């Protein structure tokens, strides 16, 4: 069964500090991995996407890494800001035919940035 596990479930850090969120997956056959950011009361918004051949992707202060051999990904946030407080969801896509997107969602990491 395809699964995506995220850790930690929740994290509190001080403004300005760095943090790293983890995602382990067992999705096959692998197509791509995406990190979404979901602000409270809003829908998720895509931050980064990585395919099998990519092992790092940056979007401003967000840097995602992918190790396809160990099936692990991380999202590193540098110099955190109060606006980074949100849930971060790891989503892995399997190669499927037909119309389905073949997505498996992690349960998310709830990040709180304190001033």
Partner 1 sequence: DVKVTQSSRYLVKRTGEKVFLECVQDMDHENMFWYRQDPGLGLRLIYFSYDVKMKEKGDIPEGYSVSREKKERFSLILESASTNQTSMYLCASSLRGLKRSNEQFFGPGTRLTVL
Indicate whether 45 belongs to the interface with partner 1 (CB under 8 A): yes
Among 29, 41, 60, 115, binds partner 1 (CB under 8 A): 41
Enumerate residues 6+ apart whose C-beta is below 8 A from 93.
27, 30, 31, 32, 33, 34, 101, 102, 103, 104
Cβ 95 to partner 1 shortest distance, Å: 10
Among the listed ranges 15-23, 59-67, 74-82, 99-107, the one in contact with partner 1 (CB under 8 A) is 99-107
Q: Per residue in 97-111, is it b (16+ CB within 10 Å) or e — as a string?
A: eeeeeebbebebbbb
Q: Which range touches partner 1 (CB under 8 A), out of 16-24, 40-48, 54-62, 66-74?
A: 40-48
**Binds partner 1 (CB under 8 A): choice among 77, 106, 111, 113:** 106
Specify the residue, 40 or 70, whose C-beta has the smaller distance to partner 1: 40
Question: In this chain, which of 7, 101, 112, 114 binds partner 1, going by CB under 8 A?
Answer: 101
DSSP string for residues in 36-47: EEE-TTS--EEE
Q: In what order do the strands lie in the sheet with 72-77?
A: 3-7, 19-26, 72-77, 62-67, 56-59
Contacts with partner 1, residue ranges (CB under 8 A): 31-32, 34, 41-46, 49, 89, 93, 98-103, 105-108
């Amino acid at each position: 069964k395809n699964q995506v596990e995220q850790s930690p479930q929740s994290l509190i850090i001080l403004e300005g500090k760095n943090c790293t969120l983890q995602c382990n997956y067992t999705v096959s056959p692998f197509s791509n991995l995406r990190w979404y950011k979901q602000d409270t009361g809003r829908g998720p918004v895509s931050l980064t996407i990585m395919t099998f051949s990519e092992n790092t992707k940056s979007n401003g202060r967000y840097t995602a890494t992918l190790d396809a051999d160990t099936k692990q990904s991380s999202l590193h946030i540098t110099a955190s800001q109060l606006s980074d407080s949100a849930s971060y969801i790891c989503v892995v896509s399997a190669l499927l035919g037909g119309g389905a997107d073949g997505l498996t969602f992690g349960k998310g990491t709830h990040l709180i940035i304190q001033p």
